[in-house]
Amino acid sequence: MLPARFEYQIVSSVEEAVAAKTQGGDEARFLAGGQSLLPMMKLRFATPTHLVDINRISGLDTIERHNGHVEVGALVRHADVAASDQVSGVVASAAPWIADPLVRNLGTMCGSVAHCDPEGDWNTVLLATGAEVIAQGPAGRRMIAIDDFVVDFFTNSLADDEMVVALRIPAAAGASGGSYQKLERKVGDYATVGVAAHLELGADGRISAAGVAMTSVAPINCKARDAEALLVGNAPSAELFAEAGAAAAAASEPRDDVRGTARWKRQVVAAFTRRALTEAAEQAQS
């Protein structure tokens, strides 16, 4: 399992990284944790001619909470997220389910988001919370809503000369909760089915905002908008969550494959949506 020939460049600032990427273009790749990129290179599914190693850029490895959101830098590892007291709800719930301990120690949250693997967990979580991606190019920074960032499988909306420098995850002001439910065949496996749920409750105890998103049951990570619409304005209840589960299952587009039949995956989406919402509501109410 030997990769094809490539140039390797270490950069020490975001500006330098962007310049290197601008020069390398489509054939250049940023290297952060490398937990998806390097295996793909060894399998020769990816043959970048230029690797831009961003690991020595200082200031990108922090998780900071300010102005109603949590900002996760480009060099924050999954394990840092799992250990952080700055994150809560569905983000905190999903972090221990990312890959396996070895991958979590090196892989980065931003890298996983930018990779846009439809079987990856983080984009589902970000869709449920309504997060944004902060990208930097030669002309400076811009914010991209996660819905607009995830374009297709393994395809994001970054320009060739842009780099993800951080994620902005909204931190709810009031009562909120979230949960990520994942069915995996073994530790380190991609999700067979994943469901992220995020709930905010108003002063009246009714649901004021809801995010439900799914992993591995559609060509890309996607929101269950019908389920979200059902939830908002209603009081949490087992019946409501069962209805939302059915709506999410209906919105999913799973396929038969070695992991299981499509109709079973729909059933799991329904069950997981119910369970995730129940947990989210319990958190929000506590």
Partner 1 sequence: MTDTTTTSPEIGGIGHSVKRAEDARLIEGQGNFVDDIAMPGMLYMALVRSPVAHARINSINTEAAAAVDGVVAVVTGELMDAHGLAWMPTLSGDTQAVLATDKVRYQGQEVAAVVATDPYIATDAAELVDVDYEMLDAITTPQQSLADGAELIRNEKEGQTDNLAYTWETGDAAATEAAFANADRVVSLTTHYPRSHPSPLETCGIVADVNSVTGQATLYMTSQAPHAHRTLFALVAGLPEQNIRIVSPDIGGGFGNKVPIYPGYVVATAASLLIGQPVKWVETRTGNLISTGFGRDYYMTGELALSNDGRIQAMRVDMLSDQGAFYADAQPTRYKAGLFHVCTGSYDFGNAHIKCRGAFTNKAPGGVAYRCSFRITEASFLIERLMQTAADELGIDPAELRMRNFIQPEQFPYETPTGFVYDSGDYPTALRKALDAAGYDELRAEQAASREQGKLMGIGIAHFTEAVGAGPAHTYDIAGLKMIDSAELRVHPTGKAVLKIGVKTQGQGHETTFAQIVAEETGIPASDIKVIHGDTDDTPYGLGTYASRSTPVGGAATAMVARKIADKARHIAAHLLEAAPEDIERDADKFFVAGSPDQSVSIQDAAFAAYTNLPEGMEYGLEDVTYYNPPNLTFPYGSYVVVVDVDPDTGVWKVRRMVALDDCGVRINPMIVEGQIHGGLTEGFAMSSMQWITFDDDGNCIGSNFMDYLIPTAWETPRFELLETVTPSPHHPIGAKGIGESATVGSPAAFVNAVVDAVAHLGVRNIDMPVLPDRVWEAIETANT
Nearer residue to partner 1 within complex by CB, 16 or 119? 119
Q: Which of 223, 265, 273, 277 is in the footprint of partner 1 by CB under 8 A?
A: 265
- What are the structure tokens assigned to 178, written together? 């979230």
Exposed/middle/buried for residue 174 (C-beta within 10 Å: 0-12, 13-18, 19+): exposed
| C-alpha span between 207 and 176 (Å, rounded) | 9
Q: Is 104 in the site for partner 1 (CB under 8 A)?
A: no
| C-alpha span between 141 and 139 (Å, rounded) | 7
SS3 42: helix
Minimum separation from the CB atom of position 151 to partner 1 (A):
24
Q: Is 173 in the site for partner 1 (CB under 8 A)?
A: no
Q: Is 49 in the site for partner 1 (CB under 8 A)?
A: no
Q: Is 189 in the site for partner 1 (CB under 8 A)?
A: yes
| C-alpha span between 284 and 215 (Å, rounded) | 23
Q: Which of 96, 100, 225, 226 is in the footprint of partner 1 by CB under 8 A?
A: 100
Q: Is 66 in the site for partner 1 (CB under 8 A)?
A: no
Asked if 79 contacts 100 with a C-beta cutoff of 8 angstroms, the reply is no
Q: Which of 25, 59, 68, 188 is in the footprint of partner 1 by CB under 8 A?
A: 188
| C-alpha span between 259 and 104 (Å, rounded) | 23
Minimum separation from the CB atom of position 260 to partner 1 (A):
3
Nearer residue to partner 1 within complex by CB, 15 or 257? 257
Q: Which of 23, 237, 261, 285 is in the footprint of partner 1 by CB under 8 A?
A: 261
Asked if 73 contacts 166 with a C-beta cutoff of 8 angstroms, the reply is yes
The binding track of 219-258 with respect to partner 1, each residue x by CB under 8 A or -, is: ---------------------------------------x
Binding part of the chain for partner 1, among 48-56, 142-150, 159-167, 262-270 by CB under 8 A, reads 262-270
Q: Cα Rg for the chain, rounded, in angstroms?
A: 19
Element of type H or E holding 144: strand 140-145
CA distances from 126 to 23, 147, 183, 236 (A): 31, 9, 18, 22
Binding site for partner 1 (CB under 8 A): 1-2, 4-5, 39, 43-44, 100, 183, 185-190, 258-261, 264-265, 267-268, 271
